[in-house]
Structure 1
Amino acid sequence: MSLTRRFFAPAVLPADPSCSVLRDAVVDVGPDGRITYCGAADTAPPLPDGAPRTRLTGILTPGLVNTHAHSPMTLLRGLGSDLPLLRWLQEAIWPAEARMRPADARAGMLLGCVEMLRFGVTTSAEMYAHAEHVVEAALEAGSRVLIAPAYFDLPGGDWRADIDAIGRWMDADGLRFGPGDRVELCYGPHSTYTLPPEALRVTAQEAAQRGALVHIHVAETVAEDVTTREKFGSVPQLLKETGLLDGRLLAAHAVHLSDSDIALLAAADVGVAHCPGSNAKLASGTAPLRALRAASVNVGLGTDGPASNDDLDLWEEARLAMMFARLATADPLALGAEDAFLMATAVGAAALGRTDIGALRAGNWADMAHISVDGPYFAAGLDVEDSHLVANLMWAAGSRAVNDVWVAGEPVVVDGETVRVDGTTALHAAAEAAARVI
């Protein structure tokens, strides 16, 4: 954009801490793709002559933030779907991924980006191999991505070389790069059960030197929890002993936690990616969401991989989070629609250690989604109480009502279709790759 653009909407949800609903509001986006103003239309600053104006008919929200994903696994959707986690990994997923070529991962990621953008998900925190090709796909689609190249201690692998390679990449390109800072590089140690403590210590040291985020699976299954407690006290305790709690850390899943584990995560300002759909499908359990939130842990929402969920719909994760929290506590007030909306936006961004996305406020990137209110999900219209509007958005509408999406102020979805990537072409390329891999 060469000029500031003004977006008018009858309702804007900026994702501030009180989950405000701004009526008859505008969002101004500067030429650099950052928001310069979000607020009431009648108090908005004057625009320069010729500044473009876009009038929307529905609700304008921040783009959603997917805090844990393996999106190239669109190629593996449905594979081993009736196996528990460890057998699913060892018998179905890891053998297929061993056959995956860089071009296959790129095709899978591109299809994943198309799916997420259509759902209003503008940012995803990815853990996967072939990371440079995953980044290429995200940039082609226009998505924002935090990429953590995954590494393991497996036969034929070399976790030290993998850690060194990530560091060289960061040193060459910086932690963030690309148009609108669309890419952030992270470290991706898979888990405490697939790596020795020494690998975790080296990761902590290397990440601390560069101020990088470490993205790791934490206490996902009962077996992992029991084994690690016998040897090290708990998964969070091992993370503390190896230095990973001293830096930026994103804990994916965090299902099996004691009160003292939660206290450790809270004291270290660890972000948590809550993945209710995947954890339910694999019968891993459900994270102690109420306790984590009560301890002021930033808990975002994650889809996990589209082979363990099996979609990339963060609105669905929000609904599942609300339902499971209520079931787990027998309390219909355990997690409300406003809480879930913030988990999918601003709190999810905070879990990643990001303050420049997830909310519509001056200085943030203009990652936005336009929600249509023309369908049956908003039969009562927009002229309802704020809480009613948010409830209809989170419980009834969700991804089905996403109409337009922008990343850094640039349109990536118009009238429900991606505009930088042809969805049909991406699907065909992924189908060819899946046939080779499976």
Structure 2
Amino acid sequence: MNFINKITDFTVSERFQRYVQIDTESDPKSPTCPSSEKQKNLSKLLVEELLEMGISDAELDENGYVYATIPSNTEKQVPVICFCSHVDTSPDCSGKDVKPIVHSNYRGQNIVLPEDSSVVIRFDDHPDLADQIGKDIITASGTTLLGADDKAGVAEIMDAARLLMKHPEIKHGDIKILFTPDEEIGRGVDKVNLNKLGAEFAYTMDGEKAGTIEDETFSADGVKIIINGISVHPGFAKDKMVSAIKIAGKIIDSLPKDRLSPETTEEKEGFIHPVGISGTVERAELNFIIRDHATKNLKSHEQELKFIVENVLHGFKGATYEFVVTEQYRNMKEILDQYPKIMDIGMEAIERAGLKAERRSIRGGTDGSRLSFMGLPCPNIFAGGHAFHGKMEWVSVQDMEKAVTTILHVANLWEEKA
């Protein structure tokens, strides 16, 4: 629909700048859902804004999930689709007191962030900046992350909801909105109520570069290794003490140096990655994430890690270990390939928005990975953010506006093809 591309009264940038100032950092050490109560501060605001738009069933549940429905405005029987983003930000970098800065009419310069001049977003280090000449870029101030992951997606869905309510000439079926907590700590859909949501297909707005849509993620497991040593007073330890700390250190040192690590892999190559270590002489714990695009490869990576552990323990008589594997998520492509129409419409919507559509794989996961295996097939559309989880994070205003336009086209295309 050509009318969609003529819309210019976007509010996505203003919304985004408001949302990022609300601290929603998730907490991996907390057992609650949401893991940090402050995530609800943004979610409550989103419900208020949805109600103000006339979306009457918008609500926040006790676990921090926002549900809402934009009612159908067509006589056709259209599949119910959902747009989903997460409100939390990564605990890898502070999300408190974010000060968004708009750099208007970007000309290709390095961007020095004012509150810490050592933080510089260099043109040569961020190839996607080449696409941003003449556009407006939003960054943080240098002491926090920005929160484009995924408040860009949240703002885009909110602005698209406003426009769908404002323009009944954009025909669509029932559109569901879902905002989740705790995606950044792997718990984003732990307590989602899919029966309540009532959608058949979904799209997360949580991708990166404008024009991209992702139908493939890593498959992921977690591994916890517990090393049981032997603690003896160090003054009498000769031939008796077996240090779990030293064993843990040797296991880390024995990992492959030139392969199977995030530092040495790219594209669809998997890895074994240590993400935490703690302990005492008597007991040490190592935590790993295991990743690969081919699910069958996870077992071989885990076997290689187990072999390393056993080989190290041969040199430490009396030490024992526990090796616990936990499934985290699986490659959503295994599900999405069964429903090609979801990707076809996503690709066509991006093209109708005036962008070149690019199908990509993610070296990571999204809420869509787990949702797909829970019965809600869900690829990932670009939200426009870059350099996630750090102080150099940035997003383009115009790319966020293109994401809003893409959402409108997705909604309209499902109706058009029904």
Please report the TM-score for the alignment, with normalisation by the length of structure 1. 0.23
Larger Cα-atom Rg: 2
Please report the TM-score for the alignment, with normalisation by the length of structure 2. 0.24
Q: Say which structure is richer in helix.
A: 1
